[in-house]
Structure 1
Amino acid sequence: MSKVGARGMIAVLLHVQEHLRCVAASGSWQVYSWVPLSDGVVGRVYAGGQPQTITDVDADPDYIRIGPDVIAEICVPILDRTGQPIGVINAEWTSTDGLEGWQDLLADVGRRLGERLDELGGPPAETRGEQLLRHSMALTDAETDAEVLFRVCRAAREVTGLAAAVLMRPLPPLGGVGMAASFPESRDRPLIGRLADAEPHRLNSLVERAGQHGASYSIGDPALLNAHGFEALTEAGVKTMIAIPLADGVLLALDESANVPNPETVNLLELLATQASTCLEKLAHLRNLHRQATSDPLTGLRHSGPFGHRLRRATPGRTALLAIDIDEFKSINDTLGHAVGDQVLIEVANALQKALRQGDELFRIGGDEFVAVVDVPTVAVAAGVAERLIEAARSTGRTISVGVAQQHHDESPEQALHRADRALYAAKASGRDAVRISHR
Structure 2
Amino acid sequence: MRVDHERIIRDGTARLSMASTVAEACQWTVTALAPSTPATISVLLEVHDRLRCIAATGSWQVFSTVPPATGVVGRVHTTGHAAVITDLGADPNRLPVRPDATSEVCVPVPGSTGRPVGVLDLLWSQPADLMAWRDTAERLAERLGARIVALGGPPAETRSEKLLRHAAALAAAGTEQELRHAASTAARDVSTLSTAVLVLPGHHGPQLCAPTTVPDELEARVRATLSAAGPEALARMVDLAHRYGAGYTLGETEQSATDDHAPLARAGVRTLVAVPVNSGGDAGLLLVADARRLRPDPTTVNLLELLAGQAGSALDRLETVARLRERASSDPLTGLRHTGPFGERIAAAAPGRTALLAIDVDGFKTVNDTYGHQAGDRLLVRLARALEGALRQGDELYRTGGDEFVAVIEVNRPDEAVRVAERLTAAARRIGRTISVGVALPHPDEPADHALHRADQALYRVKREGRDGVRLAAA
Instruction: Normalising by structure 2, report the TM-score.
Output: 0.85
How many Å apart are 1:285 and its aligned residue? 1.9
How many Å apart are 1:36 and its aligned residue? 1.5
* Identical-residue share of aligned pairs (%): 48
Q: Is 1:192 aligned with 2:227?
A: no
Match of 1:426 in 2: 461
Name the CA distance, whole Å, in 2 between partners of 1:358 and 1:184.
Answer: 33
List alignment gaps of at least 5 residues for structure 1: none
Match of 1:258 in 2: 293
How many Å apart are 1:148 and its aligned residue? 1.1
Q: Is 1:162 aligned with 2:193?
A: yes
Q: Is 1:213 aligned with 2:241?
A: no
Write the letter of the residue equivalent to 1:288: R
Match of 1:153 in 2: 184
| Change over 3 Å in CA distance of 1:183–1:195 after alignment to 2 | farther
Larger Rg: 2
CA contact (8 A) 2:225 2:263 kept: no
The partner residue of 1:178 within 205, 208, 226 is 208
How many Å apart are 1:7 and its aligned residue? 4.0
Q: Is 1:8 aligned with 2:39?
A: yes
Q: Is 1:118 aligned with 2:167?
A: no
The partner residue of 2:365 within 330, 338, 345 is 330
The partner residue of 1:201 within 196, 208, 232 is 232
| Change over 3 Å in CA distance of 1:35–1:354 after alignment to 2 | farther
CA contact (8 A) 2:206 2:284 kept: no
Name the CA distance, whole Å, in 1 between partners of 2:57 and 2:393.
Answer: 64
How many Å apart are 1:163 and its aligned residue? 1.4
Write the letter of the residue equivalent to 1:177: Q
Name the CA distance, whole Å, in 2 between partners of 1:347 and 1:186.
Answer: 51
Q: Deviations over 1:171-225 (max 9, x none)?
A: 223x562324478855433333333332221112112222222222223479524
Name the CA distance, whole Å, in 2 between partners of 1:184 and 1:425.
Answer: 58
The partner residue of 1:63 within 94, 102, 114 is 94
The partner residue of 1:93 within 124, 135, 151 is 124
| Change over 3 Å in CA distance of 1:57–1:275 after alignment to 2 | same
How many Å apart are 1:276 and its aligned residue? 1.0
Deviating more after overlay: 312-321 vs 88-97: 312-321
Match of 1:102 in 2: 133
How many Å apart are 1:159 and its aligned residue? 0.8
How many Å apart are 1:95 and its aligned residue? 2.9
SS in 1 for 2:199: strand
Name the CA distance, whole Å, in 1 between partners of 2:57 and 2:398.
Answer: 63
Write the letter of the residue equivalent to 1:138: A
Instruction: Count how many residue pairs are aligned between Structure 1 and Structure 2.
Output: 438
| Change over 3 Å in CA distance of 1:378–1:294 after alignment to 2 | same
The partner residue of 1:249 within 272, 278, 284 is 284
Write the letter of the residue equivalent to 2:90: A
Q: Deviations over 1:233-268 (max 9, x none)?
A: 222222221111111311111122222321111111
Match of 2:75 in 1: 44
Write the letter of the residue equivalent to 2:207: V
Q: Deviations over 1:282-327 (max 9, x none)?
A: 2222222222322211112222233233333334444332211122
Name the CA distance, whole Å, in 1 between partners of 2:354 and 2:132.
Answer: 71
CA contact (8 A) 1:164 1:184 kept: no
Name the CA distance, whole Å, in 2 between partners of 1:103 and 1:21.
Answer: 22
Name the CA distance, whole Å, in 1 between partners of 2:345 and 2:464.
Answer: 29
Deviating more after overlay: 180-189 vs 204-213: 180-189
Name the CA distance, whole Å, in 1 between partners of 2:269 and 2:399.
Answer: 53
Equivalences for residues 296-375 of structure 1 within 5 A: 296-375=331-410
Name the CA distance, whole Å, in 2 between partners of 1:351 and 1:186.
Answer: 49
Match of 1:269 in 2: 304
Name the CA distance, whole Å, in 1 between partners of 2:325 and 2:188.
Answer: 34
Name the CA distance, whole Å, in 1 between partners of 2:50 and 2:319.
Answer: 31
List alignment gaps of at least 5 residues for structure 2: 1-32
Match of 2:27 in 1: none
CA contact (8 A) 2:177 2:212 kept: no
Match of 2:433 in 1: 398
Q: Is 1:386 aligned with 2:396?
A: no
Whichever structure has more helix as a proportion of its residues is 2
